[in-house]
Structure 1
Amino acid sequence: MDAREERAVGTPTAATAKAATRPIAAEFFGTLILVLFGVGSAVLAVKYIGALGIALAFGLTLLALAYGLGPISGSHVNPAVTLGMLLARRIPAHTAIQYWVAQLLGGIVGAALLLLVASQVPGLKIRGEFGSNGYGTRSSVGINIFGAFVAEVLLTFLLVFVCLAVTDKLALDGFDGLSIGLALAVANLVGIPLTGASVNPARSLGPAVFAGPAALSQLWLFLVAPLVGGALAAVVHRMTHPTARSGEDLP
Structure 2
Amino acid sequence: MVADVTSHAFAGRLGGNQEFILDPKNLDNERALKRIPDASPFLSVRESFNLRGFLEPEAPLPVPSSTSGIYSTPTFLGPLVGGITNIIILTLFIYSLGPVSGGHLNPIITMSTFTARLTTFPRMVLYVTFQTLGAVIAGLLMRSTYGTRDFLVGGCSVDTSLIPTRDIFALEFMADFTLIFLAFGVGLDPRQKGTFGPALGPILVGLVLGVLSFGTAIVRTGYGGASMNPARCTGAYVGSWFPEYAWVVWIGPISASIIHGVVYWAIPPWKA
Superposition TM-score tier, normalisation by shorter sequence: 0.7 to 0.9
1:1-251, aligned counterparts within 5 Å?
19-20=57-58, 23-26=60-63, 28=64, 32=65, 35=66, 38-39=67-68, 41-42=69-70, 50-119=78-147, 126-127=149-150, 129-131=152-154, 133-137=156-160, 142-165=162-185, 166-171=187-192, 172-173=196-197, 174-193=199-218, 194-212=223-241, 215-240=242-267, 242-244=268-270
Distance in 1, matches of 2:262 and 2:204, equals 20
Q: CA deviation at 1:217?
A: 2.5
Secondary structure in 1 matching 2:191: coil
Distance in 2, matches of 1:64 and 1:210, equals 26
The 1:221/1:83 distance shift into structure 2, 3 A limit, reads: same
Q: What TM-score do you get using the length of structure 1 for normalisation?
A: 0.72
Distance in 2, matches of 1:186 and 1:180, equals 10
Percent of residue pairs bearing the same amino acid type = 23
Distance in 1, matches of 2:125 and 2:174, equals 24
Q: CA deviation at 1:130?
A: 4.5
Higher fraction of helix: 1
The 1:91/1:229 distance shift into structure 2, 3 A limit, reads: same
Q: CA deviation at 1:107?
A: 0.9
Q: CA deviation at 1:131?
A: 4.4
Q: 1:159 is matched by which residue type in structure 2?
A: L
Distance in 2, matches of 1:133 and 1:160, equals 19
Structure 2, unmatched stretches of 5+, are: 1-54
Moved more, 93-102 or 58-67: 58-67
Q: What TM-score do you get using the length of structure 2 for normalisation?
A: 0.67
Distance in 2, matches of 1:54 and 1:134, equals 14
Contact kept in structure 2, 1:157 and 1:233, CA below 8 Å:
yes
Structure 1, unmatched stretches of 5+, are: 1-16, 120-124, 247-251
Distance in 1, matches of 2:142 and 2:92, equals 19
